[in-house]
Structure 1
Amino acid sequence: MMADFVTGRWSAELEDLFLRVSGRFGRVEVRRRMRDYVRGLLGPVGRKNSWQLAEYAGHNGPYGLQHLLSRSRWDPDELRDDVQEYVAQRLGAPDGVLIVDDTGFLKKGVVSAGVQRQYSGTAGACT
């Protein structure tokens, strides 16, 4: 399923989004790293750390992606606003609501902190 975001039917949507937000990243190298980073997060990468994401993107090491996240100059609030506007335009409806439930894990026991009944997307129910 996640691979569809990178290579399948969602690929064109991702490219459209990348074009829309690319102005937030000054240099072309940083834009490419941002694109590689997002594709890695959405792609079939087992562990989503800099080494594995860089390997998936075909980079020689993680340093470019680490630079993107720690030293490159871009405003995460402006990027968030751009993505939010894009989603509203592409998926929005006047009375619509977007709910993203990406993951969860089942808890066991009744006495540990945080194990009260709660909805889990993994189970699709309250557990």
Structure 2
Amino acid sequence: MSKRLPCPPAPGPLEDFAARFDELFGTLAQRRGFREYLTGLLLPRDRNKTLTALTGAEPIIDAQAAPVQSLQFFLSESSWDAESVNDRRLEMIWDDSQMMPHEDGVLVIDETGDRKDGTKTAHVAHQ
């Protein structure tokens, strides 16, 4: 078996989190794709719900750019087990006493509650 190639790290504290999923991804490209996806979801951006936005690219103009296409491939074509990734995420929550449910409350992670700033959404036409 060949030596596993190191993956470029995710920014700041995201790397410690991402590294805990490494064994679930068989290739360097998958580990890199996972880090790019996390970075796009969790770092502040004007838009973060589309592939172009997740990579920091401009909509339409950069839709065919390599980072966008690479993330598209990771999410839709690459062979990794989403259920295993989710199971690992849940294990991590249950192992963290500050995040697991307890009698005083529960931490709810729900990205559908993202606040909208103002009356317009960046790069979205009136409908």
TM range (shorter): 0.5 to 0.7
The alignment of Structure 1 onto Structure 2 pairs a total of residues equal to: 94
1:65–1:94: structure 2 CA closer, same or farther, 3 Å change rule?
A: closer
Deviations 1:17-55 (A, max 9, x none): 211111111111211111111111111222221122223
Q: 1:64 to 1:104 in 2, by over 3 A?
A: closer
Does residue 1:98 correspond to 2:98, yes or no?
Answer: no
Question: Does structure 2 conserve the Cα–Cα contact (< 8 Å) formed by 1:24 and 1:74?
Answer: yes
RMSD: 2.6
Q: Which residue of 2 aligns with 1:122?
A: none
Percentage identity across aligned positions? 31
Q: 1:50 and 1:94 mapped to 2: Cα distance?
A: 32
Question: Tell me, which stretches of 5 or more residues in structure 1 are unaligned?
Answer: 1-5, 106-127
Distance 1:50 1:34, change over 3 A: same
Question: What secondary structure, in the 3-state scheme, does the structure 1 residue paired with 2:108 have?
Answer: coil
1:68 equivalent among 74, 95, 99: 74
The TM-score with structure 1 as length reference comes to 0.61
Equivalent residues of 2:24, 2:80 under 8 A apart: yes
Q: Which aligned segments of 4 or more residues in structure 1 are displaced greater than 6 angstroms?
A: none
* Uncovered stretches (5+) of structure 2, i.e. residues with no partner: 1-9, 58-64, 116-127
Name whichever structure is richer in helix by fraction. 1
